[in-house]
Amino acid sequence: MPADRLHLVRHGEVHNPGRVLYGRLPGFGLSSDGRRMARQAAEYVQGLERPIGQLVCSPLQRARESAEPFAELFEIDPSVDERVIEPTNVFEGRRMNRAMANPVNWLHLRKPDLPSWGEPYAQVVERMDAAMRDAWKSTESGDAVIVSHQLPIWITHLAITGGRLRHNPTQRRCALSSITSVELGEDGTWTEVAYVEPASLSGAVDVGAV
């Protein structure tokens, strides 16, 4: 039997005192508040009283740490899937306001539909969809959880709901430790069934997402 529902969970707040775009850079783990947020997300899913049959996470530190409370509460070992990782981005390690002030960097903005500054949106959709379908099919019972990142989750939302992949990054509906829940129909199409923000976001710093 496949999964009953799949929850796309964004990681919690990252310790990022330099406020850089961290992308796939190593060494960016959760802050103390981020760990609290991740715990609140896991407790929310536990409160749904829906068993979790599979837990998948991105290989990046912040995602693996955000998966820890799910592993603890549901007594399940997480598996790492490279396909749900943060996209590549030429601005990794930089503060965006400073990078945009340099005309040399403007060439990276020439094709926002792709986008020209990183991994193509269509490619992100393709790899996320493949990872989601594999998780769905291989879950023997209950729900599946995938802990990922803002852009992969948001672009998946756009693809599922028929939105344009090109978008304003400042207007994404994908808060820290938010949960986007989907189901796969018999016709092979995804349907989004819920979006919640179970973690307290008061004072949260969220400036490093791709």
> pLDDT at position 168, please?
87
* Residue spans per domain, the chain: 6-196
What is the layout of strands, in order, in the sheet containing 52-57? 79-80, 52-57, 143-148, 6-10, 179-184, 190-196
Question: What is the chain's pLDDT, residue by residue, as a tens digit (210 residues)?
Answer: 788 999 999 999 999 999 999 999 999 999 999 999 999 999 999 999 999 999 999 999 999 999 999 999 999 999 999 999 999 988 777 776 655 656 665 565 667 778 867 899 999 999 999 999 999 999 999 999 999 999 999 999 999 999 999 998 889 999 999 999 999 999 999 999 999 999 999 888 898 787
Half-sphere exposure of 122 (CA within 13 A, CB side): 4
Indicate the pTM of the whole model.
Answer: 0.93
CA distance 121 to 205: 25
CATH number belonging to domain 6-196: 3.40.50.1240
